[in-house]
């Protein structure tokens, strides 16, 4: 049973959030369409319930304490979550919503073309996608799951391996035509495009060619999409996951260099917070992904 002292009513929390945002009970009253005295009373009731002040009163000004500022961030997230859950229940009572954090290139080139089959098989489920380049805290963001690259080392989370990353070096056809690459030494003459999240990728690729990697030279990117476009524009050689390289090679925008499909440094995983493991839309999504992996 949850102690009532630590579960203030929504009206108290709305008043606190509004005062924190506007800086005064008068402005908060206008935003909430209440009287100033009502907002002041709600704020005092919340402070009494919590047993400590939230604001310092100074010449008719309300200055939030540091603790109140931190508390306010948590309260805003909680209210947003309640609002989202209510909206989802109202608009989709028979299904549910899956909020998924994805890596940009993986989401665009691998997941999106396949997602229609999942939605067709589960018409009651709505999938919301948002990109995240780096690991985040599930308790701080309202995602049900995420696509993660690396190892199965996400704290307090369940993991399902999708596939190991394999890498192919790619170059623009017109560049290759004017500067042929016949042996590994020829590669070192070109700029080697780098990705921030794969600092050892070129070292791994050169070792797979039975060679040592040269000193890094080339542009640095934070996403595969921009690095791919740079390679297409003739700015260097890009080391791409096969699910990206295959598309560009098939379209004739890039050409593979020497040995193709080299084992990379990690794998793609579906990860989820332990508290959401039994969430029906997530269970359905995991089952669908397992079938997709069998078909790969």
Domains identified in the chain and CATH numbers: 4-87 (1.10.10.10), 91-163+267-295 (3.40.190.10), 166-264 (3.40.190.10)
Between the alpha carbon of residue 34 and those of residues 24, 31, 42, 194, 284, the distances in Å are: 13, 8, 11, 56, 45
Mean pLDDT of the chain: 88
In 179-223, alpha helices (H): 184-187, 201-208
- The span from the CA of 177 to the CA of 143, in Å, is 47
pLDDT band, very low/low/confident/very high, at 6 (cuts 50, 70, 90): confident
Cα separation of 235 and 224, whole Å?
Answer: 14
**pTM of the model as a whole:** 0.66
**What SS3 state is found at 60?**
coil
Residues ≥6 apart with Cβ < 8 Å to 283 = none
Angle CA(227)–CA(236)–CA(206) in degrees, nearest 5? Answer: 95
Q: Tens of pLDDT along 230-286?
A: 999 999 999 999 999 999 999 999 999 988 888 988 899 999 998 888 888 999 999
pLDDT digit string (tens) for 115-128? 999 999 888 888 99
CA distance 83 to 136: 22
């Amino acid at each position: 049973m949850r102690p009532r002292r630590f579960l203030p009513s929504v009206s108290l929390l709305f008043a606190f959030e509004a005062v924190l945002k506007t800086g005064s009970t008068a402005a908060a009253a206008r935003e909430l369409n209440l009287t100033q005295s009502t907002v002041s009373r709600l704020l005092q009731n919340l402070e009494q319930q919590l047993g400590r002040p939230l604001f310092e009163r100074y010449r008719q000004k309300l200055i939030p304490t540091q603790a109140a500022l931190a508390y306010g961030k948590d309260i805003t997230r909680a209210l947003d979550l309640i609002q989202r859950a209510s909206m989802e229940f109202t608009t989709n009572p028979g299904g549910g919503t899956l909020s998924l954090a994805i890596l940009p290139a993986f989401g665009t080139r691998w997941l999106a073309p396949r997602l229609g089959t999942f939605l067709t098989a589960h018409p009651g489920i709505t999938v919301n996608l948002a990109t995240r380049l780096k690991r985040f805290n599930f308790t701080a963001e309202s995602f049900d799951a995420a696509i993660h690259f690396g190892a199965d080392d996400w704290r307090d989370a369940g993991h399902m391996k999708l596939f190991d990353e394999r890498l192919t070096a790619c170059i623009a056809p017109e560049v290759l035509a004017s500067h042929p690459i016949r042996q590994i030494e020829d590669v070192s003459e070109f700029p080697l495009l780098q990705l921030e999240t794969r600092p050892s990728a070129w070292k791994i690729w050169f070792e797979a060619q039975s060679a040592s990697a040269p000193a890094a030279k080339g542009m640095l990117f934070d996403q595969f999409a921009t690095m791919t476009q740079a390679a297409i524009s003739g700015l260097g050689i890009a080391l791409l996951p096969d699910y990206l390289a295959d598309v560009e090679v098939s379209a004739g925008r890039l050409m593979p260099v020497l040995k193709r499909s080299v084992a990379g440094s990690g794998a793609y995983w579906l990860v989820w917070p332990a508290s959401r493991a039994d969430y029906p839309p997530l269970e359905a999504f995991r089952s669908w992904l397992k079938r997709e992996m069998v078909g790969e």
